[in-house]
Chain A
Amino acid sequence: MAWQVQFRVFRSSRGEVPAHFDPFTVEIKPDETVLDGIERIWAFQDRTLTFRHACHHASCGSCAMRVNGVEKLSCVTYIQDVTSDGGTLVVEPLRNFPIVSDLVVDVSPMFHRMHEVGMPIIRSAEPLGKPENFNCFENCIECGMCVSACPVMLTSNQYLGPAALAAAQRTIAEPRGVDVRSIWQLADDENSVWRCHTAFECGEVCPSNGDPAGAIMALRRRLILERIKSLFGRGILARQRGG
């Protein structure tokens, strides 16, 4: 049985101020997804609606948006989990990114940071007790949901942000050929791990077991340990200082 759900969708055309919400009534089954509903609005009600999507199976990260105020990967967010028959869904673009139009944000600031950190996207897979060395894409799908949820990002656009810090921690823990010295420097900065207020909102919304909050804490512990070591003239920070 299909439900009737009202989608209140954030609308803004490039440069248009102020933005507004458009209501759309959608017939949708409880086990369909928020992205199914948005695609149907585009297909049958309003061809001007713009939104990001590609893989529809939680692997590309592009369909991230805010649903009733919470960051969601819309392709795997089921209607029954976020509303009820006759209910309303408020759909907005991610925060802390420049808005291009409607639900489309410009994700390049995050990719700049990810590129700086330089995490390879391929890693050894979780072994299923196998003799062979399998490989697998990184868990982080670069969806930007942690960046959107982070209260510190709201106040400082200098902050490296949870996704890139989690990537830095991954790379330092498992360098796979990457030179980690510059990543240490990037991480050990007032706009980096030390700026995090440990609000843990990023970890709450991560759709991919990325645990950015945990990664930032781990990175802090490593940095503190390195500082202690460097007092005794050992460790990577000491070597850096020595040239």
Chain B
Amino acid sequence: MTKPVAIVIGGGSTGAATAHDLALRGLKVILVERGEIASGTTGRCHCLLHSGGRYCVKDQEAGIECIEENIMLRKIMPDGLELNDGLFIAITDSDMDYKDKFIAGCEACHIPWEELTPQQALAIEPNLNPNLKAAIRVPDGVFEALRFCLSFLATAKKNGAEIHPYIEVLDLLSTGQGAIKGVHVQDRTSGRVYDIEGDIVISATGPWAGDIAAMAGASVPIQPTPGVMVSMNQRVVNLVVNRLNKAADGDIIVPQRQTSIIGTTSWPVDHADYIPVPEDHIQMMLEKGAELVPGIRQARMRGVFAVARPLIASAGQADGRELSRTFECFDHAKRDGVEGFVTITGGKATTARAMAEKTADVVCRKLGLDAPCRTRDTVLVSYREYYI
């Protein structure tokens, strides 16, 4: 029997995890990405393996997704994560007022938490603001975005997937009867233009999902919502440090390798291709970051970057902070009357595996395949094997 062919567009965390899931379920997967792997949103994200703490008060659905996936990723990506936990620290009275809500949120989302006295917190992280009033420890972690994607892709390749970076989708191929049968692409390394046909096309193009859907005459309610991050030339903490309050600009420092990344801001844009960094955001990151860890003032800035979240829009939102961080899989047969085409977007890198599971369920149902998800306990191979 020949395998059904699934074409995945996009080599960020979502496309990578989707390729892995579908390959494990026995489909022939062909993934195309117009640039380098992780060159879209995923590469430039904050690299926080969310515990769910940042969402547990306002967006509990996202909070629960995060902690479930966090625990699962620890099992399937054991050698690819910095696992030092995270602290939510209170500095002002307003932060202290938030503490009970936060603890209730952790409980509601089943996020393990532990309250530390300021002395205990300073014993673990001496560089914290010495005036902190309270600290709560949660199982945050840190990944490295390119290698996060490569781990999924290396494993997908082992299971027969073809991964093609530098191939851009120019158009979708239509059967002429309201269905999509493949992609019209250009190999950007040679200029060659050709077609790839398959049984289903999955768009995992993050904030570009609207562009791809438009090629099918379909739509997705995506709101590209960038954020700015500033990386410093020192690792000032070992645990992730969050402000114990509702999400705000510059309320988190993520340590990674030899750096500390302060983030982030949030504002809507029309298109995700090029995001200029608003200059005032940089200064704000440095000031807000120094409220958490005063040593930020002595560290030197190493890099500044911005990239757009693929947030699913709903009515009446302003800066994007109010939009849910959960994900959605759109079957365009139901939504727009277009068969053979599915979009998966929204979500987080942390929840990429769950996004892939949901998408692959939809794909299998559409293709009439009875293949259960196996990504929950399949340990991924080393990212280096992507190149082997």
Contact = CB atoms under 8 A, between A and B. Distances in A.
Interface of A is mostly: loop
A55 B43 contact: yes
B388 A111 contact: yes
B388 A56 contact: no
Nearest to B187: A14
Contacts, number: 149
A13 B187 CA distance: 10
A101 B190 contact: yes
B238 to A, nearest CB: 4
Interface stretch (B93-101, B143-151, B198-206): B143-151
Contacts of B42: 54
Interface string B138-176: 000000111100000000000000000010000000000
B235 A136 contact: yes
Given A111-B388, A114-B384, A128-B238, A104 B166 contact: yes
B303 A57 contact: yes
Given A128-B126, A208-B258, A54 B388 contact: no
Contacts of B127: 128
A125 B191 contact: no
Contacts of A155: none
Contacts of B115: none
Interface stretch (A40-48, A83-91, A230-238): A40-48
A227 interface: no
A134 B231 CA distance: 20
Contacts of B259: 57-59
Interface residues of A, number: 52
A225 interface: no
Contact of B235 (A111, A126, A138): A126
Contact of A59 (B83, B84, B166, B256): B256
Contacts of B35: 50, 53
Given A57-B229, A115-B388, A125 B303 contact: no
A135 B302 contact: no
A135 B84 contact: yes
B273 to A, nearest CB: 6
Interface in B18-64: 35-39, 42-44, 47
Given A101-B166, A115-B388, A125 B235 contact: yes
Interface in B52-80: 79-80
Contacts of B382: 115
Interface residues of B, number: 53
Contacts of B44: 54-56
Given A52-B36, A57-B305, A136-B235, A14 B190 contact: yes
B274 A43 contact: yes
B388 A57 contact: no
A125 B385 contact: no
B317 to A, nearest CB: 26
Contact of B124 (A100, A130, A139): A130
A107 interface: yes
Contacts of A56: 43-44, 303, 305
Given A58-B302, A60-B147, A136-B82, 13 more contacts: A13-B190, A33-B303, A50-B188, A53-B36, A54-B38, A54-B39, A55-B145, A57-B261, A111-B386, A115-B385, A128-B126, A208-B257, A208-B258
19 contacts: A13-B189, A13-B190, A39-B274, A53-B39, A53-B43, A54-B43, A54-B44, A57-B259, A60-B146, A101-B188, A111-B388, A125-B84, A128-B126, A130-B123, A134-B239, A135-B83, A136-B257, A137-B256, A141-B257
Interface of A: 13-15, 33, 39-40, 43-44, 48, 50-62, 75-76, 100-101, 104, 107-108, 111-112, 114-115, 120-122, 125-126, 128-132, 134-139, 141, 208-209
